């Protein structure tokens, strides 16, 4: 196994600013980057990717496929070339696959490897080893997969003995793109049809990319249907900027008076733009400009986003509203902290099993910078400071990249700023985050 970066290390202090001004581009979409390597590896021919996110999570996915015999060039300035080996061309890895901090690598690979004719073991860092895997292991077992792991197959390491799978019809207990995608990647290798129905529709990047590689994917309401797929064809993929990374700068600009920031080339797939809808409901000035059709970026719509500082108001955010903004919970909490009035987020139980328990960690982090809030079982209630400043203080990222970036943005509105330990975690999804922040922050 290769050594992973220590994402629990590093500390940094973010000081108050007089605005975020200018233009930024954010790195490529993390979800789409993972999928490009996975599908490219099992496709026939070459897949050429540009705009690939060179974050730690995506490097874990590249390393995993290299260990199964796939030749992958790059990443070099966002360019990755994958020499696909076809649906039957992966080889048994010689060692345990280390997914690092990445839930997406783990869950999608578990689905994909369940149908490959060899033995594999997946593990990850201390955070990933606490995250629930039963949600994928159980339905995969119904398809005929043979997977075992700690805690009755719920925790990493997982050991997978590849077998012949049968399609199933399955209603997922949670809206989860990782779960849906694991079943789709197993489904295309299974005999017969696989039908997956979700309670709400999670991000659909796997469906879009499977279609791009030539698979037949049907979507009906909240259901997705795939059949046994003989061949995927390598292709060119241009990955748009990650809206989940853009979200930090959107909120940073909104809460810091004197801001006007243009964020270029952001993916605006409707299953991901919940953050724009929630912030607009809070009264944000956000314009989506130059929206492209879907061809330019390989099946994904792209736009520029212009944000101006706004006095936000507290709102109610429901579980359904949160599904297309699932990764934005920490930064929505920061927006709420500097809004006028109370914000209540409900139906957010899934946030307890992300890279950290994001409900508990955000509640504690906001308290330590002087923002009153109340943690609830499935959400949080936050008393916004309106035009006031927070005192600021010290917080710990718990190795969670999105906590570190959300609290960094809070620092822009704190008298003493915010000191963050575990700041290296930003490299999981946004290498260069602090450099970009220093460039656009007006002091
Ligand atoms: C992801 C799905 C989401 C999200 C994660 C990336 C994906 O997780 O939180 O950051 O790429 O499929 P869940 O499927 O667990 O909701």
Residues 58-110 pLDDT 10s: 999 999 999 999 999 999 999 999 999 999 999 999 999 999 999 999 999 99
- Contact between residue 298 and residue 40 where contact means Cβ atoms under 8 Å apart: no
* Mutational pocket test of ligand 1: of 61, 108, 178, the residue with most ligand atoms within 8 Å of the beta carbon: 178
User: Domains, the chain, ranges and CATH?
Assistant: 11-28+240-440 (3.65.10.10), 30-238 (3.65.10.10)
Torsion of CA 428, 429, 430, 434, to 10 degrees: -50
Residue 80: predicted pLDDT: 98
* Mutational pocket test of ligand 1: of 38, 56, 176, the residue with most ligand atoms within 8 Å of the beta carbon: 176
326 lines ligand 1 (CB under 6 A): yes
Indicate which residues carry an active-site annotation. Answer: 327
CA-closest residue to ligand 1 atom 10:
327
414 Cα to the center of ligand 1, angstroms: 31
- For 401, the enclosing helix (H) or strand (E) is helix 401-411
Token pair listed for 428? 């999981």
178 Cα to the center of ligand 1, angstroms: 5
Cα 111 off chain centre by? 18
181 lines ligand 1 (CB under 6 A): yes
Q: How many CB atoms lie within 10 A of CB 381?
A: 18
Q: How many CB atoms lie within 10 A of CB 169?
A: 12
CA distances from residue 142 to 135, 146, 148, 166, 196 in whole angstroms, order as listed: 12, 10, 14, 8, 13
CA-closest residue to ligand 1 atom 16:
176
Block residue for tokens 């270029």 = 264
- Contact between residue 41 and residue 86 where contact means Cβ atoms under 8 Å apart: no
Distance between CA atoms of residues 99 and 105, nearest Å: 6
CA-closest residue to ligand 1 atom 9:
327
CA-closest residue to ligand 1 atom 4:
327
CA-closest residue to ligand 1 atom 15:
176
Cα 406 off chain centre by? 14
- Which of 434, 422, 431 is CA-nearest to residue 6? 422
Which residues 6+ apart lie within 8 Å of 316 measured at CB? 343, 344, 346
- Indicate whether this model's pTM tops 0.85: yes
Query: Is the sign of the CA dihedral 318, 245, 247, 269 positive or negative?
Result: negative
Distance between CA atoms of residues 192 and 342, nearest Å: 51
Q: Determine the atom of ligand 1 nearest the C-alpha atom of 108.
A: 12
pLDDT per position in the chain (443 positions), as tens? 556 778 778 999 999 999 999 999 999 999 999 999 999 999 999 999 999 999 999 999 999 999 999 999 999 999 999 999 999 999 999 999 999 999 999 999 999 999 999 999 999 999 999 999 999 999 999 999 999 999 999 999 999 999 999 999 999 999 999 999 999 999 999 999 999 999 999 999 999 999 999 999 999 999 999 999 999 999 999 999 999 999 999 999 999 999 999 999 999 999 999 999 999 999 999 999 998 876 567 799 999 999 999 999 999 999 999 999 999 999 999 999 999 999 999 999 999 999 999 999 999 999 999 999 999 999 999 999 999 999 999 999 999 999 999 999 999 999 999 999 999 999 999 999 999 999 999 98
DSSP class of residue 296 equals T
Token pair listed for 353? 């099993």
Residue 295: predicted pLDDT: 53
104 lines ligand 1 (CB under 6 A): yes
SS3 of 60-71: HHHHHHHCCCCE
Distance between CA atoms of residues 341 and 383, nearest Å: 6
- Contact between residue 86 and residue 233 where contact means Cβ atoms under 8 Å apart: no
Q: What are the tens digits of pLDDT across the range 383-421?
A: 999 999 999 999 999 999 999 999 999 999 999 999 999
CA distances from residue 7 to 78, 121, 245, 351, 362 in whole angstroms, order as listed: 22, 23, 17, 20, 18
- Contact between residue 435 and residue 22 where contact means Cβ atoms under 8 Å apart: no
181 Cα to the center of ligand 1, angstroms: 10
Residue 7: predicted pLDDT: 78
Distance between CA atoms of residues 10 and 61, nearest Å: 24
- Contact between residue 130 and residue 157 where contact means Cβ atoms under 8 Å apart: no
103 Cα to the center of ligand 1, angstroms: 7
Query: DSSP E strands: which ranges in 105-154?
Result: 119-123, 146-149
Q: Determine the atom of ligand 1 nearest the C-alpha atom of 35.
A: 11
């Amino acid at each position: 196994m290769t050594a992973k970066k220590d994402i629990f290390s590093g500390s940094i202090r973010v000081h108050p600013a007089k605005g975020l001004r200018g233009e930024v581009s954010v790195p490529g979409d993390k979800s789409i980057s993972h999928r490009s390597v996975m599908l490219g590896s099992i496709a026939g021919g070459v897949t050429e990717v540009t705009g690939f996110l060179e974050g730690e999570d995506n490097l874990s996915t590249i390393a995993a496929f290299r260990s199964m015999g796939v030749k992958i060039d790059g990443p070099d300035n966002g360019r990755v070339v994958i020499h696909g080996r076809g649906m039957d061309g992966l080889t048994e890895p010689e060692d345990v696959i280390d997914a690092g901090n990445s839930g997406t690598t783990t869950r999608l690979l578990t689905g994909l490897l369940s149908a490959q004719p060899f033995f594999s073991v997946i593990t990850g860092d201390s955070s990933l080893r606490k995250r629930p895997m039963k949600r994928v292991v159980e339905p995969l077992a119904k398809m005929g997969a043979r997977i075992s792991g700690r805690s009755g197959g719920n925790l990493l390491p997982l050991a997978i003995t590849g077998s012949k799978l049968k399609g199933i019809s399955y209603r997922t207990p949670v809206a989860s793109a990782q779960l849906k995608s694991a079943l789709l990647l197993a489904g295309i290798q299974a005999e017969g049809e696989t039908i997956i129905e979700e309670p709400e529709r999670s991000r659909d990047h796997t469906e879009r990319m499977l279609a791009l590689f030539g698979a037949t994917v049907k979507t009906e309401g909240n259901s997705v249907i795939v059949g046994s797929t003989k061949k995927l064809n390598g292709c060119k993929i241009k990955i748009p900027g990650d809206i989940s990374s853009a979200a930090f700068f959107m909120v940073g600009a909104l809460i810091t008076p004197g801001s006007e920031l243009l964020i270029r080339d952001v993916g605006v797939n409707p299953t991901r733009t919940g953050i724009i809808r929630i912030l607009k409901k809070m009264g944000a000035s956000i314009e989506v400009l130059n929206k492209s059709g879907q061809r330019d970026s390989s099946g994904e719509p792209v736009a520029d986003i212009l944000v101006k500082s706004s006095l936000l108001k507290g709102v109610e955010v429901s579980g359904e509203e949160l599904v297309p903004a699932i990764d934005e919970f920490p930064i929505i909490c920061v927006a709420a902290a500097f809004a006028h009035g109370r914000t209540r987020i409900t139906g957010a139980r899934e946030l307890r099993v992300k890279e950290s328990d994001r409900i508990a960690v955000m509640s504690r982090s906001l308290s330590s910078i002087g923002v009153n809030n109340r943690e609830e079982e499935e959400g949080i209630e936050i008393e916004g400071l309106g035009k006031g400043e927070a005192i600021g203080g010290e917080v710990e990222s718990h190795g969670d990249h999105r906590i570190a970036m959300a609290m960094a943005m809070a620092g822009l509105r704190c008298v003493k700023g915010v000191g963050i330990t575990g700041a290296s975690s930003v490299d999981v999804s946004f290498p260069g985050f602090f450099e970009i922040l220093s460039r656009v922050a007006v002091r």
